[in-house]
Structure 1
Amino acid sequence: MEDLIIEATRSSPEIRFDAAARCLMLRGESYPENAAAFYAPVFAWVQALLDALQPGESVEVELEIGYLNSSSTKVILNLLDLLDLAARNGASIRVTWRYDPQNETALECGEDFSEELTAVEFRLVELEARP
């Protein structure tokens, strides 16, 4: 399985998915014109990863998204639902939502996402101040 790397733009996050490490990272802002189309390769990659997951293997997901528009919020929630389904079926999945302490909206968004999940280990982690 190939890694998936998509560079950030003004309106879309950086995406770094490492197949060997089973580590998924999204970082940046997310308000692409067509969120469903932008995230389609992400869903395909995650589904392929989950399909290939062996017993005892885990998946790490790191999300650091400062702003999401409504269509991106829906897509990210669908992605988290896909991961939660895999976790309910026995996969070990941990999601870390990193947020800027100055961005209350990002914290609330992470809290809202965490309330929707039943089997994924979901952690909210405050980013440290950058000099």
Structure 2
Amino acid sequence: MKRLELSPSNNTPHIILDVDANTFLIEGKSFPEDSKEFYRPVIEWMDEFKQTTPKSVKICFNLFYLSSSSIISVKQFLMKAVELNTGGAAIIIEWAYDEDDDDIKKTGEDYQKLTKLNFEYKVNE
């Protein structure tokens, strides 16, 4: 299985899914024209990754803006992480946000309530 990396653009985040380190990063702004299509390879990669039965995975989010359709796509991604967790993998979510960005912080808290995954909150410096 290969690492997946999607380069950032003005309206899409930088995404790195590193199978060797079992560390994933989603960082930047997320308001693609077609969120479902943009995140499709990420969701498909996660489906394939869960077959490798990892022991642990760290997922780092550092998002500055999420459109409503991106919120749904990130939720789908996190539900794949729940499947990994159900399969025995320890999942740690690091949710970074700017100190004055209550919306992004609340989005992380909403995802935590929904998924019941272990979230660690980090204020960007």
Tell me if both proteins adopt one fold, taking TM over 0.5 as the criterion: yes
- Separation in structure 2 between the aligned mates of residue 87 and residue 4 of structure 1, nearest angstrom: 20
- Separation in structure 1 between the aligned mates of residue 88 and residue 95 of structure 2, nearest angstrom: 22
- Separation in structure 1 between the aligned mates of residue 57 and residue 53 of structure 2, nearest angstrom: 9
> Identity across aligned pairs (percent)?
27
Contact 2:53 / 2:87 at 8 angstroms: preserved in 1?
no
Question: Secondary structure of the equivalent of 1:20?
Answer: coil
TM-score, normalised relative to structure 2: 0.94
Give unmatched runs, 5+ long, in structure 2.
Answer: none
Contact 1:22 / 1:49 at 8 angstroms: preserved in 2?
no
Counterpart in 2 of 1:74? 72
Contact 1:97 / 1:122 at 8 angstroms: preserved in 2?
yes
Deviation of 1:86 (Å):
2.2
**1:34 matched to 2:34:** yes
> Deviation above 4 Å: which 4+ runs of structure 1?
none
Deviation of 1:26 (Å):
0.5
Give unmatched runs, 5+ long, in structure 1.
Answer: none
Deviation of 1:71 (Å):
0.5
Pairing 1:88-99 to 2, within 5 Å after superposition: 88-99=86-97
Deviation of 1:88 (Å):
2.4
- Separation in structure 2 between the aligned mates of residue 36 and residue 11 of structure 1, nearest angstrom: 14
Pairing 1:1-131 to 2, within 5 Å after superposition: 1-54=1-54, 57-118=55-116, 120-128=117-125
RMSD across aligned positions (CA): 1.1
- Separation in structure 2 between the aligned mates of residue 26 and residue 89 of structure 1, nearest angstrom: 23
- Separation in structure 1 between the aligned mates of residue 86 and residue 77 of structure 2, nearest angstrom: 14
TM-score, normalised relative to structure 1: 0.90
Question: Secondary structure of the equivalent of 1:11?
Answer: coil
- Separation in structure 1 between the aligned mates of residue 89 and residue 123 of structure 2, nearest angstrom: 26
Deviation of 1:112 (Å):
1.0
AA in 1 matched with 2:61: L
AA in 1 matched with 2:123: E
